[in-house]
Amino acid sequence: MNVLHVENLYFAYDREPVLQGVNLQVDEHEFVAIIGPNGGGKSTLLKLIMGELLPNEGTITVLGKSPREARQEIGYVPQNTNVNLDFPIRVLDVVMMGNPKQHRETVNWWERLFPVRYNSVEKRCAYTTLQKVGMEAYLDRRIGELSGGQRQRVMIARALCAHPKLLILDEPTSSIDVEGQKQIYALLKELSRDLTILVVSHDLSVITEYADKAVYVNRSSYTHDLRRSPIHLQQPEGEHFCEIELMQMLAEKTCNCEHHAGRKEES
Partner 1 sequence: MEILHYTFMQNALIAGILVSLAAGIIGSLIVVNRLVFLTGGVAHSSYGGIGMAIYFGLPIFLGASLFTVATALLLAWLTFKKRHLSDTYIGLIWAVGMAIGVIFVDLTPGYNTDLMSYLFGSILAVQRSDLWFMGALLAVVLFAVHHWYREFLAISYDSDYAALRGIPTGRFYTLLLILSALTVVVAIKVVGLILVLALMTIPTHIASHRSGTLYGMMMLSALLAALFTLIGLWLSYRYDLTSGACIILAAAAGLVLESLWRLGQKA
Binding residues for partner 1, per CB under 8 A? 50, 52, 71-72, 76, 78, 83-84, 86-90, 93-94, 96-101, 113-116, 140, 142, 158, 162
Contact (CB, 8 A) for 57 and 8? yes
∠ CA 148-152-156, nearest 5°, is: 170
- The nearest distance, CB 23 to partner 1, in angstroms, is 25
Phi, psi of 9 (to 5 degrees): -85, 130
* Closer residue to partner 1, CB minimum distance, 13 or 114: 114
Q: H or E stretch including 115?
A: none
* Closer residue to partner 1, CB minimum distance, 21 or 115: 115
d(CA 95, CA 161): 7
- For helices 148-160 and 178-191, the axis angle rounded to 10 degrees is 20
- The nearest distance, CB 100 to partner 1, in angstroms, is 5
- The nearest distance, CB 143 to partner 1, in angstroms, is 8
- The nearest distance, CB 10 to partner 1, in angstroms, is 24
Contact (CB, 8 A) for 184 and 176? yes
d(CA 117, CA 245): 52
Task: Order the strands of the 74-77 sheet from edge to edge.
Answer: 74-77, 166-170, 196-200, 31-35, 213-218, 220-225
Helix, strand and coil percent figures for the chain, each rounded to 5:
35, 25, 40
- The nearest distance, CB 76 to partner 1, in angstroms, is 6
* Closer residue to partner 1, CB minimum distance, 68 or 227: 68
- The nearest distance, CB 87 to partner 1, in angstroms, is 5
* Closer residue to partner 1, CB minimum distance, 100 or 230: 100
Q: Are strands 31-35 and 196-200 parallel, antiparallel or unpaired?
A: parallel
* CA distances, 199 to each of 22, 56, 184, 209, 258 (Å): 17, 24, 12, 14, 22
* Closer residue to partner 1, CB minimum distance, 90 or 264: 90
* Closer residue to partner 1, CB minimum distance, 142 or 163: 142
* Closer residue to partner 1, CB minimum distance, 17 or 78: 78
- The nearest distance, CB 109 to partner 1, in angstroms, is 12
